[in-house]
């Protein structure tokens, strides 16, 4: 990495008025995110890489159209780590690209023990678990029990109604603080890059 490239491995700005329509197209890839998702993940990934922390895998629970999965996979190819994406139905519109990129796309209920999510999380190096399926609170409450120290868990559609800016960044509340509080405490998970991710409608926490 030359010094100029390292200099720009910096913090990307988060915008105050992102799209709130539920769908975003980036490079013509469709996903259910707002524009802050890219800055938030970029800031998280750059932080880990700068600190020489080895990412073992990203696990996306809830693939849907699959645009975000493609971006995660490209990152994982560059970082030489694993990427798995789960959905209960085959809903991607990018099947051909999933094949070209050899995306590990598992069609199974994430709560089915045969999904082997627990085993995947427990493998060595940092697991990044993105809960974005049908019951985000339950996904956090379930999979946070499997995290190792240093692992990261995220939940999309996260809204904290006690904040004045609660619905400023996203219209849809499917995860919220009171529903995941006990699991976070029990598993020693602290907020991580909290503000960046809050503004992308996502909770991000890291197991200490």
The residues of the shown chain that bind ligand SAM, judged by CB under 6 A, are: 31-33, 60, 62-65, 67-68, 86-89, 91, 109-111, 132-134
Minimum CB–partner distance for residue 8 and ligand SAM (Å): 26
**In this structure, what token pair is assigned to residue 167?**
């619905």
The residues facing 25 across adjacent strands are 30
Nearer to ligand SAM, 142 or 150 (CB): 142
Nearest distance in Å: CB 134, ligand SAM: 3
Cβ count near 184 (within 10 Å): 19
To the nearest whole angstrom, how small is the minimum distance from the Cβ of residue 197 to ligand SAM? 13
Query: Is the CB of 133 or the CB of 147 nearer to ligand SAM?
Result: 133
Q: What sections of 21-143 are H helices per DSSP?
A: 36-50, 67-79, 95-100, 117-122, 136-143
CB-closest chain residue to ligand SAM: 134
Nearest distance from C-beta of residue 89 to ligand SAM, angstroms: 5
In whole angstroms, what is the distance from residue 49 CA to residue 75 CA? 12
Q: Nearest distance from residue 32's CB to ligand SAM, in Å?
A: 4
Nearest to ligand SAM of 59, 110 (CB atom): 110
Nearer to ligand SAM, 65 or 148 (CB): 65
Nearer residue to ligand SAM within complex by CB, 32 or 127: 32
End-to-end CA distance of the chain: 29
């Amino acid at each position: 990495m030359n010094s100029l490239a390292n200099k720009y491995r910096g913090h990307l700005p988060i915008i105050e008025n992102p799209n709130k329509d539920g769908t975003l197209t980036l490079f013509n890839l469709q996903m259910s995110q707002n524009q802050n998702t890219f800055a938030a993940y970029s800031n998280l990934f750059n932080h880990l890489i700068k600190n020489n922390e080895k990412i073992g895998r990203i696990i996306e629970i809830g693939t849907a159209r699959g645009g975000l999965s493609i971006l995660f996979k490209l990152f994982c190819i560059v970082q030489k780590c694993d990427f798995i994406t789960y959905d209960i139905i085959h809903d991607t519109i990018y099947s051909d690209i999933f094949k070209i990129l050899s995306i590990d796309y598992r069609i199974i209920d994430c709560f089915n023990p045969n999904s082997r999510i627990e085993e995947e999380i427990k493998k060595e190096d940092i697991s990044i678990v993105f809960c974005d399926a049908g019951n985000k609170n339950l996904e956090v409450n379930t999979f946070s029990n499997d995290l190792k120290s240093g692992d990261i868990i995220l939940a999309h559609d996260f809204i904290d109604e006690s904040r004045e800016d609660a619905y400023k960044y996203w219209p849809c509340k499917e995860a919220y603080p009171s529903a995941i509080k006990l699991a976070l405490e029990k598993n020693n998970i602290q907020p991580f890059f909290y503000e960046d991710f809050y503004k992308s409608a996502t909770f991000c926490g890291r197991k200490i």
